[in-house]
């Protein structure tokens, strides 16, 4: 785990050195959330080593934050940077689809 914080404000206040800014919205520490986080980290480690930053937001603690990124389903990954914004919902078990969803294919 490179970064884990509940406050995206803290994440954004840092110099945005990393070109890839990802947010993972979860609901509590459920097995589903853990799976999603593990899957996401694995993919990022493989394809975006040292270029990414993941912010995990627990909606149980910060329900207001759900509105900002129009979160309906959990877990949800939102690619804030590079733009455009991309959203993937689910536990990210299908790596291929995550790569497509995050537009990582060209890098690979």
Buried b (16+ CB within 10 A) or exposed e, 55-68: bbbbbeeeeebbee
Closest contact distance (angstroms) between CB of 80 and other proteins is 12
Site map for other proteins, 6-35, x if CB under 8 A? -------------------x-x----x---
Exposed/middle/buried for 14, CB within 10 Å: 0-12, 13-18, 19+? exposed
Residue (8 or 75) nearer to other proteins, CB? 75
31 three-state secondary structure: helix
Q: State the residues that interact with other proteins by CB under 8 A.
A: 25, 27, 32, 36, 39, 59-60, 63-64, 66-67, 70-76, 84-94, 97-98, 100-101
């Amino acid at each position: 785990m490179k970064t884990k914080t509940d406050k995206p404000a803290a994440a954004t206040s840092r110099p945005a050195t990393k070109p890839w800014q990802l947010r993972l919205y979860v609901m509590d520490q459920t097995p589903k959330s853990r799976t999603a986080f593990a899957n996401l980290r694995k993919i990022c480690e493989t394809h975006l080593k040292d270029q990414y930053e993941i912010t995990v937001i627990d909606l149980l603690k910060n329900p207001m934050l759900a509105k900002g990124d129009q979160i309906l389903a959990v877990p949800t990954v939102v690619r804030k940077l590079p733009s455009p914004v991309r959203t993937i919902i689910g536990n990210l078990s299908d790596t291929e689809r995550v790569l497509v969803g995050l537009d990582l294919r060209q890098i690979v």
